[in-house]
Chains A and B, each alone.
Chain A
Amino acid sequence: MTPVASESLVQSVDWLTIAPPTLTAVVALVVLVADLFVPEGRKRLLGWTAIGGLTAALALLVPLRAGDRSTFCLTADTQVTACSYTADHFTLVIQLLVLGGALLTALLSLTETREKLPAGEFWFLLLSSAAGAALLPASRDLATLVVALEVASLPAFALVGLKRGDRMSGEAALKFFLSSVTATAVTLLGVSFVYAATGTLHLTEIAQRLDDVPGQLQTLAEAGVALTLVGFAFKTAAVPFHFWVPDTYVGAPLPVAAYLSVVGKAVGFTGLILVTVVAFPSYADVWGPALAVLAALTMTAGNVAALRQLSTRAWSAVRLLAWSSVAQAGYLLVPIAAAAYSSDDQIGATVAYALMYAVVNLGAFAVVALVARSHPRNRIEDYRGLYAASPAAAFALAFFLLNLAGLPPGIIGLFAKVTVFSSAVDAGLGWLAVIMGINVVIALYYYLRWTALLFRTPEGAAEKVRHRTPVPITLAIVLTAAAGVVLSGYPQFALRFATDSLF
């Protein structure tokens, strides 16, 4: 603590650099206050304000694209140079992913807030959570990191439990809350151990000082490293911290499930990347094997559970997507584990994979949200003959599912998997690559089974009731499908991050 105590506490603030998360937070407050004054009939304005805010936050990423800004730096009269907020390329890509994911979630929620959910609270919570998630990749000290993690998580608990009068929703929120809080507590304990051993909270400083921790503090530092990882592993829904996922996804409103599956996961793996690669590189021999084993277990557990989903069970579509997102988290962990074994920058593979996954998974959820309007029980069986009812939605869902499976025509899905495989092979993690290969085959079975169902002839007479397709959901499907197709034609857009050094 000595350096901090001796310095001037006034740090310079570069407002443009912190604009994207700040704007999101400000709009969240504006929506909350406005909710009090807007008459019932005009509530939809709140939704459009939120969407406008997220779009503006996305636009504010553009002036930062050089990726060389940082702020909240320690002032010059100390010998140490470290900043708490850095907008490098890694930060910008994750912010793009998080804010884009929140924007698509907002599009999916527009109709739902009009019908079922309390509008003001919903938009406030969504934007707050997005602001936290956008702050997280930029944090470069443990305190900011934990604060950002909590800002992203706390509103999410409330979002999950927002379905009024729904017992499952409340139960899901409680389950999510209890397991998440436990994990955060463990993380905080880990952070305090690390702080005790190194005397600093700045990630880069920790990296340097962990090298020469005094002998009697060695065990403390190691325990601190391990415990810190637990909280982030929970957010990523890595095994054995994955049990909350299916129930939470099923109980939550559908757009919130989509949000958790993409943005929630992004929060988790971003935190993992920051603490492992930036803060604890000298302990790579501890977290490297641990993450590799975790990745193998996570993908296997997720895929096996997804395989066992009965297509006739209620909400089996969401359940399947929930388990598949657990499996996908396993793939996301592979390059992080690989980073421990090779000097090359492997993190980019995770980022590229996450971009692909965000686009196609949100797309899949968008189609599920569309089908849920006519089939509220949302069984996989309900998708039989979707092609006959609405060919475009069927093609879109088939495209998204095959991307998740990683087979052509889902070319971007295939290449994202190739980069992950490549990082594993590069790092010499042959066994992990083989396990992942087997998992890809298992996953293909349930993705393709669902895809094949779309094109079957519908059973019995198709009901003639036409459900009006809401424009925002259509827009979300079109946006994600277009992004998927463009990325498939020119994968370099996403994969460029796999080679560039992001930090």
Chain B
Amino acid sequence: MIDISESVMQFLLALIVVGPLLGAAAALLPAPPGLKGKSPDQAVLRHGVTVTGVILLAAIVLALGFDHAQPSRMQATTDISWIHALDVRIHLGVDGISLPLLVLTALLSFLCALYSYFKQQHQRLTPRASGPSPKGFVALLLVLESGTLATFAVLDLVLFFLAFEMVLIPMYFLIARWGGEGRQAAAWKFILYTLLGSVVMLLGLLLIGVKAGTFDMVALATDNGRGLTTSVQVIAVLAIGIGLAVKTPMWPLHSWLPDAHTAAPTVGSVLLAGVLLKMGTYGFVRILLPITPDGMRTFAPYLAAFAVAGIIYGSLACLALARPGNKGDLKRLIAYSSVGHMGFVLLGIATMTPTGVNGALFANVAHGLVTGLLFFLVGAIKDRYGTADLDTLAGATGAALYGRAPRLGALLAFAAVASLGLPGLAGFWGEMLALFGAFEPAEGLSRPAFLTFTAIGAFGTLLTAAYLLLVVRRVCMGGPRPAGETPIADVQGYEFAAWTPLVALTVLAGLWPAVLLGLTDPAVQKLLAGGNQ
């Protein structure tokens, strides 16, 4: 949109990847004079807001400077040799597929930092049990941000693996130190599960690198699998696919997710659902589709089958959790709903058609926005009630949030409706396009099988609507309240500040999907055609 010289763009992208790391190091050092703030805690949280703010700004400028006429071209590319021995190059670049994810990550990280800062300011007035110092929290948050941004910006397989691994340690500590009940077990489950997946993924990546002679994603994508025999591709897709599927997560490899979400602090949940899960699906689109198309074609029907199983499984689990008397935890419920939503994304990818993959990428971003918002809201409810247990919240008739905290209730209803895919909001387009793609899958894939998957997936949307409406009914509505009940606070100013961007973008993406699809479509076309367009 605006003309920015290539070298500035390169600098911006490098800053986006490295900046948070430097910020994390700085967070551990004592604050310099003049920036000490009211207390060390406040100073370091403010530091977090500043760094993530700068990164968000850089991401926005990068998005503005991005040549929207050619979203399929890699832009702002840097290509420096780093480890000659392994032929690893620091190769960075953005195209229409990675740009939305970069901006989404920068935005969610900024909102999380902002939310933590104001929450601390807010809570300073009310004394509470002293938790671990926010110093480590901010540093870990920034390392996490750097790792996820790097995942979306690098174009080298080994570097991709490095970025993929970089998020593990910070997320482990975020859950284990700042989490709720059962956090130790959940943190272990998270890190061991995902590490096992990513080690298997590494073997697949090395297989590709050894057989093709390069780790460069652009060169490999242009090659479109011509340098790899079908058997190598099949093994590589199996290995890499397992690693990515654990991260996504794909049913039946999802079991770490509900525990991690339930135990994680609000900010951790938001980033986990909003950003970390996207790394898995991004890997499918960026690595498996263009680099190993033959292997992907072999596994696409199975992937689609697992995806729709995940859709149905996630929805049924949510329905069970939402029923009265089942002691369903709201955070757990949203985690399971993520399994369902990511099922749609995987279904779109498995079709191997431009329609389906575009739908998958759209659903990816939409899920980041909507589920991020949902986790913020549930975190706020948990702060107010001290529990996220649906039965305790709802009591006999319902929690009556519309009456007790009307703004919070309305926002929750909005997010729930966006999540179930109401036309006009972000959740709709991605799932519809994914189902469309499955209706007519790519050549060489069995149409009857995919028609069945389409039907099952469509049924899944009904189940999704059912449980989300059930949640809205039990949390937002309810009978008249007993007299003398302690009032609960409605949405605070700082909460509005953190949530409004998500609400606005949900509406924007719902009403004007072209803003995203215009970016992703040319890039997807190019990836599927192997860069021969």
User: Which residues of A are interface residues toward B (Cβ below 8 A)?
Assistant: 352, 402, 407-409, 411, 414-415, 418-419, 421-422, 425-426, 430, 433-434, 437-438, 440-441, 444-445, 448, 452, 455, 457, 490-492, 495-499
Contacts and interface: CB of A to CB of B under 8 A. Distances in A.
B169 A409 contact: yes
Given A421-B202, A495-B83, A455 B162 contact: no
A421 B207 CA distance: 10
B82 interface: yes
A418 B206 contact: yes
B361 interface: no
Interface stretch (B106-114, B188-196, B439-447): B188-196
A248 B88 CA distance: 41
Contact of A407 (B165, B200, B206, B207): B165
B206 A422 contact: yes
Contacts of A452: 172-173, 176
A425 B169 contact: no
Contacts of A492: 82-85
B200 A414 contact: no
B206 A441 contact: no
A490 B209 CA distance: 21
A374 B136 CA distance: 26
Interface string B83-106: 111101000000000000000000
B56 interface: no
Given A408-B162, A434-B203, 5 more contacts: A419-B85, A419-B86, A441-B196, A444-B195, A452-B176
B120 to A, nearest CB: 19
Contact of B203 (A425, A444, A496, A498): A425
B330 interface: no
Contact of A455 (B83, B84, B136, B195): B136
A233 B302 CA distance: 45
Contact of B191 (A414, A438, A448, A498): A448
Contacts of A457: 132
Chain B interface size, as a band, is 20 to 34
Interface string B379-401: 00000000000000000000000
A437 B188 contact: no
Nearest to B163: A408
Contact of B172 (A352, A411, A448): A448
A206 to B, nearest CB: 31
B296 to A, nearest CB: 20
B240 to A, nearest CB: 13
Nearest 5 pairs between A and B by C-beta? A495-B85, A437-B199, A408-B166, A499-B85, A425-B206
Contacts of A441: 192, 195-196, 199
Contacts of A490: 82
Nearest to A387: B136
A437 B86 contact: no
A437 B200 CA distance: 7
Contacts of B165: 407-408, 414
B203 A437 contact: yes
28 contacts: A352-B85, A402-B169, A407-B165, A408-B162, A408-B169, A409-B143, A414-B162, A415-B86, A415-B158, A418-B158, A418-B206, A422-B86, A425-B207, A430-B203, A434-B200, A437-B199, A437-B200, A440-B199, A444-B195, A452-B173, A452-B176, A491-B85, A491-B86, A495-B83, A495-B86, A496-B84, A498-B85, A498-B86
